[in-house]
A and B are shown apart, each in its own frame.
Chain A
Amino acid sequence: MYKPKTLFEKVWDSHVVLEREGEPTLLYIDLHLVHEVTSPQAFEGLRLANRTVRRPDLTFATIDHNIPTTSDERFHIKDQIAAQQIATLRRNCAGAGIPLFDVGSGRQGIVHVIGPELGLTQPGMTVVCGDSHTSTHGAFGALAFGVGTSEVEHVLATQCVSQKKPRSMRIGISGALPDGTSSKDLILEIIRRLGTDGGTGHVIEYAGEAIRGLTMEERMTMCNMSIECGARAGMVAPDETTFAYLDGRPYAPPGEAWDKAIARWQPLATDEGAHFDKDITIDASHLAPIVTWGTNPGMSAPITATVPGPDNAQDESERNAILAALDYMGLQPGTRIEDIALDRVFIGSCTNGRLEDLRSAAKVLRGYKVHNRVTVLVVPGSEAVKQAAEREGLDSIFTEAGAQWREPGCSMCLGMNPDILAPKQRCASTSNRNFEGRQGRGARTHLVSPAVAAAAAVAGHFVDVRGWEYRK
């Protein structure tokens, strides 16, 4: 009898090359994405061992982490070590025959933005990249996870990873997201409830009415941040929304192959009665915009709440963690989130640097000026996103409001390029990590949705965007 399977199991099972008792499974990889920071040592390792890249045709590279976001500096990088790392990637790709979506090609961008937008990421695939936010690609019903550099080398050499099978978790979302909230708020809410290690060892499938109602971009935001609750990957079953998104993309199957692909993708959805190791349901209908106040993505509160204090801790170690976070963030318990004043706003990253995110921020900013104390950086996720946004005139909404419209890259999400904060500067950021020092040493990061970030840019402090007066 056929045993009902989850989406995750279907993708996993169809990629098993070898299963051995007491050893990890050898899993075939369909798509390997590469960027400049985590790959040089892998290519070097191959060279030292006299090995070659097995499937350059299944490997694609881009430049994102280091790249400056001003139009002249991106072609003339001043930071010599960054420039060398980028030059090394170009050389490694040319040597191995790996396609590189280079700066200025029209296809460069953050690796997790370009994979989907080029149609490289497809349902049912296994996708890896030397980057923890590879979980983003799970929004297509792919099994996608981040790997370390030794594993990058392993995939380059063998097109496989050696992995222990993770456990499965379903998070069912009932209800619909209220106006003024987004999937960013939903995933921050999930991370707060689960904790930053609640998903460890698991692949999460997001399911339910609310998820079916999300666009691909919103689904990507959720899968992107799955790693922030420790999950190996996040997944959403492919459906009409997925197919409509992929149709006609440069690497999507063309013509007859497209119909065959759909026929293969449709049955990927989790079977009725399939077993999950954990099954959770969350009601989204009372969701509020969420703001992080601490130094990990689980330390967050609804925008209408106040900053918690040590008395809210469950135990001694949580108490210490709250005290350390408040100290780093320069916050007092009991402060209203809406009273937190900001110096910077960053709109971008692989979490919220796609066209829809920019639209959502622009909708709030239209007709307003950003607060005179606040510097606002808008960094599109890719060259294609930038061009599309400019075609719609979003760039002029941003610049007329007083925000800076930059060139694509990771930028202030991790500040490996020149875009960093000074110590103690406070930033509302649409990215995914508020760790100590993430946006610069001593810098204070609050994670929010694009709409909340835009509203905060105007007000100079957080505001409940649900009451926003949109201007024409």
Chain B
Amino acid sequence: MEPFRSHRGIVAPLHRENIDTDQIIPKQHLKRIERTGFGTYLFSDWRYHPDGSPRHDFVLNQEHYRSATILVAGKNFGCGSSREHAAWALSEFGIRAIIAPSYADIFRINAGNNGLLLIEAAGTTVQRIAAQAQARPPYELTIDLENQTIADGDGLSERFEIEPFRRHRLLHGLDEIGMTLTHEAEIARFEAAVLRCTPSQGYSNLGTAT
């Protein structure tokens, strides 16, 4: 996973709440067996007409936002399906960070596993950034994960909160599986302590609920 330390980029506003993963990557594009090739289909129903031509009313098709790397959006971003294809599509398009008041749980985890930074900001901050991005594109922000700040070099400079472990993983681009496998002994001990039959015999233990 690519580490995330600091990033400066153009902000694109999505003035919507509850942007679900069915919008981020519609189902007709989920049939690939690779992790790549999803960027072209990011927000495809919003981005293209049914004949495949671009819709000029969609923000990411407009001149100043085409190379945006930061999205600002309404609450509960990423709700709905667990499809990690949403995170892959965003990353492949070039999005490095999202700023919104809140996110859905599974999307938050998927983003973290793909080096995509989710910043949970107060509604007023989100509105302010969205308004700036709308009013004077290309509006750029600098996100410094090390110091947990977002700044526009023009009056906006705010600290954001992020769980320390999430921050640590992003900063170092750590592979979660590799980390867990260092605990092989604990996993093996757990399996041995808690007796389990094979499924063909019917499960047995499954927990020593106390």
Question: What is A's interface to B at a CB cutoff of 8 Å?
Answer: 10-11, 13-15, 17-18, 22-24, 26, 28, 30, 37-38, 40-41, 44-45, 49, 51, 57-58, 60, 65-66, 79, 81-82, 84-85, 88, 119-120, 122, 124-125, 130-132, 134, 146-151, 153-154, 157-160, 162, 164, 166, 196-197, 200-201, 230, 232, 251-254, 257-258, 260-261, 264, 267-268, 296, 317, 320-321, 324, 414-416, 423, 433, 435-438, 441-442
Question: What is B's interface to A at a CB cutoff of 8 Å?
Answer: 15-18, 20, 22-23, 26-28, 30-35, 45, 50, 74-76, 79-85, 87, 102, 104-106, 109-110, 113-114, 163-165, 176-177, 179-181, 183, 186-187, 190-191, 194, 196-210
Check B82–A264 contact: CB distance below 8 A.
no
Check A159–B109 contact: CB distance below 8 A.
no
The contact of B45 among A159, A258, A437, by CB within 8 Å, is A437
A437 cross-chain contacts in B, Cβ below 8 A:
22-23, 26-27, 45
Check B206–A150 contact: CB distance below 8 A.
no
Check A124–B209 contact: CB distance below 8 A.
yes
Q: Do A148 and B206 form a contact, CB below 8 Å, given A26-B186, A85-B33?
A: no
**Which B residue's beta carbon lies closest to that of A320?**
B15
A166 cross-chain contacts in B, Cβ below 8 A:
105
Give bound CA distance, A415 to B28, whole Å: 8
Check B209–A267 contact: CB distance below 8 A.
yes
Check B84–A38 contact: CB distance below 8 A.
yes
B82 cross-chain contacts in A, Cβ below 8 A:
38, 130-132, 134, 146-148
The contact of B110 among A22, A150, A441, by CB within 8 Å, is A150
A134 cross-chain contacts in B, Cβ below 8 A:
82
Check A321–B18 contact: CB distance below 8 A.
yes
Give bound CA distance, A468 to B196, whole Å: 50
Q: How far is the CB of B18 from chain A (nearest CB, A)?
A: 6
B81 cross-chain contacts in A, Cβ below 8 A:
131-132, 433
Check A17–B76 contact: CB distance below 8 A.
no
Give bound CA distance, A442 to B80, whole Å: 18
Q: How far is the CB of B176 from chain A (nearest CB, A)?
A: 6
Q: How far is the CB of B198 from chain A (nearest CB, A)?
A: 5
A436 cross-chain contacts in B, Cβ below 8 A:
22-23, 45
Check A157–B181 contact: CB distance below 8 A.
yes
Check A416–B31 contact: CB distance below 8 A.
yes
Check A433–B206 contact: CB distance below 8 A.
no
Check B203–A125 contact: CB distance below 8 A.
yes
A159 cross-chain contacts in B, Cβ below 8 A:
187, 191
B18 cross-chain contacts in A, Cβ below 8 A:
196-197, 296, 321
B207 cross-chain contacts in A, Cβ below 8 A:
10-11, 14-15, 30, 124-125, 264
B104 cross-chain contacts in A, Cβ below 8 A:
197, 200, 230
B76 cross-chain contacts in A, Cβ below 8 A:
196-197, 200, 230
Check B190–A17 contact: CB distance below 8 A.
yes
Check A230–B204 contact: CB distance below 8 A.
no
**Which A residue's beta carbon lies closest to that of B111?**
A148
Give bound CA distance, A24 to B176, whole Å: 11
Q: Do A148 and B79 form a contact, CB below 8 Å, given A26-B183, A41-B33, A437-B45?
A: no
B114 cross-chain contacts in A, Cβ below 8 A:
150
In addition to A11-B207, A162-B176, 14 A-B residue pairs with Cβ atoms within 8 Å of each other are A10-B207, A51-B177, A81-B31, A124-B207, A130-B84, A132-B80, A146-B106, A148-B110, A151-B113, A154-B176, A253-B204, A258-B202, A264-B209, A414-B27
Give bound CA distance, A122 to B209, whole Å: 14
A160 cross-chain contacts in B, Cβ below 8 A:
180, 187
A296 cross-chain contacts in B, Cβ below 8 A:
18, 20, 79
